[in-house]
């Protein structure tokens, strides 16, 4: 490999953990779970209802991943049946604040994005007809 390619490879390798973390956070289920847990401890069944469309298995897998990443804590109460609560960690709450900012940005620019898409689609349709 040339020195130039080695530099690029090293940069990509350095970014891999970042890319992985961003991919995990951007997952559609992760965002819903983080939003639901940001308001205080929440039980599994409440999470299942709060995250629209998620299966029990997918919820379980995502909860384990978020707990492993340090974004959720899991507390099991010794009752029958067992009571389990999930709570967002301070790190998750910091991420939640960023998600709220992104949501505000999306809401603020929703109409402009829709107009830009319509304009783009009309332009592409006209170009397709002309060719």
Instruction: Encode pLDDT of 76-91 as tens digits.
Output: 999 998 899 999 999 9
pLDDT at 8: 63
Q: Spelled out in words, what is the top-level CATH class assigned to the domain 3-130?
A: mainly alpha
Indicate the domain borders of the chain: 3-130
Q: What distances in angstroms separate CA 35 from CA 5, 8, 12, 38, 83, one per listed residue?
A: 41, 36, 31, 5, 21
Phi, psi of 39 (to 5 degrees): -95, 15
Instruction: Provide mean pLDDT across the span 26-45.
Output: 92
Instruction: Indicate the pTM of the whole model.
Output: 0.71
Residues found in the chain: 131
Report the mean per-residue pLDDT for the chain: 88
**Could you give the CA distance from residue 74 to residue 51 in angstroms, rounded to a whole number?**
18
- Short-list 64, 81, 69, CA closest to 23: 69
Instruction: Provide mean pLDDT across the span 59-67.
Output: 95
């Amino acid at each position: 490999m040339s020195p130039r390619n080695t530099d690029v490879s090293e940069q990509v390798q350095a970014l891999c953990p970042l890319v992985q973390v961003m991919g995990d956070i951007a997952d559609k289920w992760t965002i819903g779970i983080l939003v639901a847990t940001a308001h205080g401890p929440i039980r599994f069944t409440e999470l299942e209802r709060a995250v629209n469309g998620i299966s029990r298995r997918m919820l379980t897998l995502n909860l384990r991943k978020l707990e492993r990443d340090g974004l959720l804590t899991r507390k099991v109460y010794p009752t029958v049946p067992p009571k389990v609560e999930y709570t967002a960690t301070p790190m998750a709450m910091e991420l939640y604040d960023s998600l709220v900012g992104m949501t505000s940005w999306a809401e603020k620019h929703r109409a402009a994005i829709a107009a830009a898409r319509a304009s783009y689609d009309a332009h592409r349709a006209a170009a397709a007809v002309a060719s």
